[in-house]
């Protein structure tokens, strides 16, 4: 096992599940990346060396997976928002606004999934340290009272 894999295993072992209250508090005190384009555009986004790749999903959909670009930030936020509104996701707890999503784009490794037939973006995925707890229980709907 190489040193980076060992470091990742140690880091993951130290992480504890976080409540929605903790996530909210972390989001409020997070490092400022900027909701305006200026500072964000000056930062580098990490890339995954093995991308781009083409995959056939279980549904039969053929997608190209590529590294995210700075131009993808709003598209990614729209995907997360739409998923949450359909009850299929938890992402608005982690990405309630563009600034927090941009912070994760800079801090993690992200891929965009594009349908080969149409070129349409059908998904995205981020790999990095989460501010949220991962449990088998569904997240509460933020729009319910």
Question: Quick one: which H or E segment has residue 100?
Answer: helix 98-107
Residue located via tokens 């384009």: 37
Q: Is there a contact between 134 and 20 (Cβ–Cβ < 8 Å)?
A: no
For 17-60, what is each residue's pLDDT tens digit?
445 565 555 555 444 555 456 777 778 888 989 999 999 999 99
pLDDT score for 6: 52
Residue 144's pLDDT is 60
User: What's the maximum distance between 2 C-alpha atoms anywhere in the chain?
Assistant: 48
- End-to-end, the C-alpha distance of the chain in Å comes to 48
Of 22 and 14, the structure prediction assigns the larger pLDDT to: 22
SS3 115: strand
pLDDT at 75: 94
Whether 93 and 132 have beta carbons less than 8 Å apart is answered as: yes
* pLDDT-derived band at 98, boundaries 50, 70, 90: confident
Under a CB-based contact definition with an 8 Å cutoff, are residues 131 and 94 in contact? yes
The Cα–Cα gap between 119 and 105 comes to 22
For residue 111, give the nearest of 55, 48, 63, 61 by alpha carbon.
Answer: 48
pLDDT band of 74, cuts 50, 70, 90: very high
What 3-state DSSP class applies to 89?
Answer: coil
């Amino acid at each position: 096992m190489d040193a980076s894999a060992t470091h990742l295993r140690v880091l993951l072992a130290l992480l504890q599940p976080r409540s929605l209250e903790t996530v909210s508090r972390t989001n409020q005190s997070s490092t400022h990346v900027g909701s305006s384009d200026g500072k964000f555009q000056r930062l580098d986004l990490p890339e995954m060396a093995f991308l781009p790749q083409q995959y056939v999903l279980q549904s039969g959909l053929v997608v190209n997976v590529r590294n995210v670009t700075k131009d993808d930030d709003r598209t990614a936020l729209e995907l997360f928002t739409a998923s949450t509104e359909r009850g299929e996701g938890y992402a608005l707890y982690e990405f309630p606004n563009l600034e927090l999503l941009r912070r994760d784009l800079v801090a993690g490794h992200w891929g965009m999934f594009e349908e080969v037939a149409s070129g349409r973006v059908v998904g995205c995925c981020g790999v990095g340290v989460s501010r949220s707890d991962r449990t088998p229980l569904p997240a509460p709907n933020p729009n319910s009272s």
